[in-house]
Chains A and B, each alone.
With several copies, the nearest count.
Chain A
Amino acid sequence: MHDTVVRDHVLTFHVPTRGFDGPGGAAGTDSLATDQGELIGMYRAMVLTRTFDAKAVALQRTGRIGTFASSLGQEAVAVGIGAAMAAGDVLVPSFREQGAMLLRGVEPAELFLYWGGDERGSDFATPRHDFPICVPIGTQAAHATGVALAMQLRADRRVSVCALGDGATSRGDVYESMNYAGVRRLPIVFVVNNNQWAISVPRARQSAAETLAQKAIAAGFPGEQVDGNDVIAVRAVTSEAIERARDGGGPTLVEAITYRLADHTTADDASRYRSDEEVSARWKDEPVARLRDRLVDAGHWGKEQEQQLLEECAAVIEAAVTAYESRAPLAPASMFDHLYAELPASYRAQRSEVVARGGADA
């Protein structure tokens, strides 16, 4: 019945990919020239993140914290996001954005507390308005959308930034969030931290979409890909999206393409589902060395600075471990003290029992 077709309007959509074309790209050096101080700042943040991750894995191995999710190899995504955000913006993270959380002021000791199974880890001193780590995949997208709606209704020119994984893009609530963000043109940026894996499920089996960026087309706003191991590109693309959102331009979906060099978590053994060859090939492109080489090539970085930085980071993290391990234990009865603003009378007996059973009163 093709002969019935006499009209054929065709709508067209574009999904760009941006980044360097590899180490030492000319453009890279251009931008190096422009803001080396900032670049060095991002480099320091990535190294601190890597030091934190290594220590956290070690603490888990010795039973001093619980299961932990390292961001090894993905530092440029979180740090790029953190660098692109203003202090008043709100970060709504998943559980692998420690790079952004640390850059925004969360203390490493607070993150150790969280992974150590202590609620106080999500009560960080700064930034008070950011969301805590979110474990149920994708559910944070709804919170980020609500935050963005609040910002739009108050017209206070702040932006909500939601980080999520490639696997999270398969969640219906992430789609519902994006669709509503599109309807209201909310000031929000969704950054998909595409590290190619959702535990053992590779990106290709998560969706038949050629890119994850194109999921934005279903919600009626722009999506683009960026080289997620290129912190300069991540920072650039994300801040463009953030400033567009701040100016009323609506949402953007940024797909940052990176690779999870670590096991999914300390409870995982990635060798069960991917080869050493695959992983070592990806090591060649890891973001920390990539920026370091560029800084060195440009003459902005050298052996001593590197040595000094590593020592500084080690010291900061060691101090954090000490702070974490010297925290007074959480009072058992505290499980009742933040349940409601005021504990309903009917709960008092249960609280008293906990206290009586040696849960020293809070």
Chain B
Amino acid sequence: MPEQLTLVDAVRTAIARAMEDDDNVIVLGEDVGAIGGVFRATDGLSSRFGTDRVLDTPISESLFVGLAVGLAAEGFRPIVEYQFMGFLYPGLDQLANHAGRMRNRTRGRLTCPIVVRAPYGGGVRAPEHHSESFEAMLAHIPGIRVVIPSSPAKAYGLLLAAIRDPDPVVFLEPKRLYRSSREDVVDDGASLPLDRCDTLRTGDDLTLVTWGASTLETLAAADRLAADGIDADVIDVVTIKPLDMTTILASVERTGRCVIVHEAPRTGGVGAEIAAVLADEGLTSLLAPVGRVTGYDTVIPMFGLEPHYQPTEQRVLDVARRALEFA
């Protein structure tokens, strides 16, 4: 029967389930063993599955993805944790030059079923370099998938799908949501699709597109609009790569107005790709300019100014109103 889980509980439950189902699933990363990770996402797994399936590594971020590439070539399904997304940059070389290419460059002889997990985003008063969101850089890398859950149930189903997927998946966990709420999660081993948006609420007046922790401010803004009798589709993109534009295009065809919300800097963010497709395949549906409510094109400030950097409900509301009033 269902259990009330937080998002980080759901991550742990999904990993445990995958490890139960498949001996090839192992976990690697800094501090994932004894303490179960700095966010406790792997808490208890080391005692339950043993230190040969939950491996504490040295501080070697250039190594992790490549290590997983080697493990995967030999039949394992490694789950590698980067302690914070800001420390994932050294993994980009192996992600782009090897993980995303191995299947293609060997015509399928060697494959790369790995999962790279990282807590991502800001809003928790963390130290410098602990609040990064650069999913857009990952989404530009061919041959990989990028997934971002926005709820405990999604974290469970999507992470299971990611672990079972035959190709590399980067799984970004909005740390602001880790313990912000609980929901019923049934540990039934059921996975969720890795190529589909999820519509969180429906309406015909406006399409709000977002993902990760920004779903909170976006839904709050949608509620405020609803109070004024304006109904918005709120779409959680979920799979940043591959991007399910079919769902978004269908929504905008109905509403004619779209605002995209994300925490990462605006320029070159994933919002740009969504707006670009709207400017092409969706142009004839557009009744108003496509708005973007995002982090600014600055270095993400230390936590003192973070609230002024991140999209707020008010900012979403203002841009949504502008889109609605456009004629």
Instruction: Give the interface of A toward B (CB within 8 A).
Output: 66-67, 90, 92, 115-120, 122-124, 128-129, 131-133, 135-139, 141-151, 153-154, 160, 167-168, 170-173, 176-177, 179-180, 183, 198-201, 205-207, 267-268, 272-273, 329-330, 332, 334-336, 338-341, 344-347, 350, 354, 357, 359
Instruction: Give the interface of B toward A (CB within 8 A).
Output: 26, 30-31, 33-35, 38, 52, 56-63, 65-76, 78, 86-87, 90, 93-94, 97-98, 103-111, 125-130, 142-143, 165-167, 195, 242-246, 266, 296-299, 301-306, 308-309, 314-315
Return 23 A-B CB contacts under 8 Å, by A number: A124-B109, A129-B73, A138-B59, A142-B70, A143-B66, A143-B67, A143-B70, A146-B68, A147-B70, A170-B60, A173-B90, A180-B60, A183-B58, A199-B35, A201-B56, A205-B58, A206-B59, A332-B308, A339-B104, A339-B299, A345-B242, A346-B244, A357-B308
Q: What chain B residues lie within 8 Å of A170 (beta carbons)?
A: 58-60
Q: What chain B residues lie within 8 Å of A138 (beta carbons)?
A: 59
- Could you say which of A129, A139, A167, A339 contacts B94, with CB atoms under 8 Å apart? A139
A90 CA / B73 CA spacing, docked (Å): 11
A12 CA / B243 CA spacing, docked (Å): 57
**Among all A-B residue pairs, the 8 with the closest Cβ atoms:** A146-B70, A142-B66, A150-B74, A170-B58, A117-B303, A332-B308, A176-B60, A344-B242
Majority-rule SS of B interface residues: loop
Sample of 15 more A-B contacts, CB < 8 Å, known A171-B60, A201-B58: A66-B125, A66-B127, A118-B302, A118-B304, A137-B87, A143-B66, A146-B74, A171-B59, A173-B93, A179-B58, A198-B30, A338-B103, A339-B299, A340-B103, A341-B103
Are A201 and B31 also in contact (CB < 8 A) when A67-B126, A146-B69, A336-B298 are?
yes
B63 touches A123 (CB 8 A): no
Q: What chain A residues lie within 8 Å of B87 (beta carbons)?
A: 136-137
Q: What chain B residues lie within 8 Å of A90 (beta carbons)?
A: 74
- Could you say which of B57, B165, B301 contacts A180, with CB atoms under 8 Å apart? B57
A350 touches B301 (CB 8 A): no
A179 CA / B143 CA spacing, docked (Å): 29
A92 CA / B70 CA spacing, docked (Å): 10
Are A347 and B242 also in contact (CB < 8 A) when A138-B59, A267-B38, A335-B296 are?
yes
Give chain B nearest CB distance to A331 CB in angstroms: 9
A200 touches B244 (CB 8 A): no
B110 touches A131 (CB 8 A): yes
Give chain B nearest CB distance to A259 CB in angstroms: 18
Q: What chain B residues lie within 8 Å of A118 (beta carbons)?
A: 302, 304
- Could you say which of A147, A167, A272, A350 contacts B74, with CB atoms under 8 Å apart? A147
- Could you say which of B56, B62, B70, B142 contacts A200, with CB atoms under 8 Å apart? B56
Q: What chain B residues lie within 8 Å of A267 (beta carbons)?
A: 38
Chain A residue at minimal CB-CB distance from B315? A357
B129 touches A200 (CB 8 A): no
B305 touches A332 (CB 8 A): yes
Give chain A nearest CB distance to B249 CB in angstroms: 11
Are A123 and B109 also in contact (CB < 8 A) when A142-B67, A180-B60, A350-B297 are?
yes
Chain B residue at minimal CB-CB distance from A199? B31
Are A340 and B143 also in contact (CB < 8 A) when A172-B60, A180-B57 are?
yes
Q: What chain B residues lie within 8 Å of A148 (beta carbons)?
A: 70
Chain A residue at minimal CB-CB distance from B36? A272
Are A142 and B69 also in contact (CB < 8 A) when A199-B38, A344-B195 are?
yes
- Could you say which of B33, B73, B301 contacts A146, with CB atoms under 8 Å apart? B73
Q: What chain A residues lie within 8 Å of B67 (beta carbons)?
A: 142-143, 145-146, 149, 177, 180
Give chain B nearest CB distance to A281 CB in angstroms: 19
Q: What chain B residues lie within 8 Å of A332 (beta carbons)?
A: 305, 308
Q: What chain A residues lie within 8 Å of B31 (beta carbons)?
A: 199-201
A143 touches B69 (CB 8 A): yes
Are A167 and B103 also in contact (CB < 8 A) when A146-B66, A339-B143, A359-B308 are?
no
A272 CA / B34 CA spacing, docked (Å): 7
Q: What chain A residues lie within 8 Å of B298 (beta carbons)?
A: 335-336, 339, 347, 350
A173 touches B62 (CB 8 A): yes
Are A341 and B166 also in contact (CB < 8 A) when A153-B76, A198-B59 are?
yes
Specify which of A123, A144, A201 lies most central, judged by the most chain B CB atoms within 10 Å of its CB. A201
A358 CA / B129 CA spacing, docked (Å): 26
Q: What chain B residues lie within 8 Å of A272 (beta carbons)?
A: 34-35
Are A200 and B35 also in contact (CB < 8 A) when A150-B74, A172-B63, A179-B58 are?
yes
Q: What chain A residues lie within 8 Å of B166 (beta carbons)?
A: 340-341
A239 CA / B299 CA spacing, docked (Å): 38
Give chain A nearest CB distance to B153 CB in angstroms: 23
A335 touches B71 (CB 8 A): no
- Could you say which of B35, B68, B301 contacts A335, with CB atoms under 8 Å apart? B301
Are A205 and B56 also in contact (CB < 8 A) when A119-B107, A142-B66 are?
yes
Q: What chain B residues lie within 8 Å of A350 (beta carbons)?
A: 266, 296-298
Give chain A nearest CB distance to B255 CB in angstroms: 21
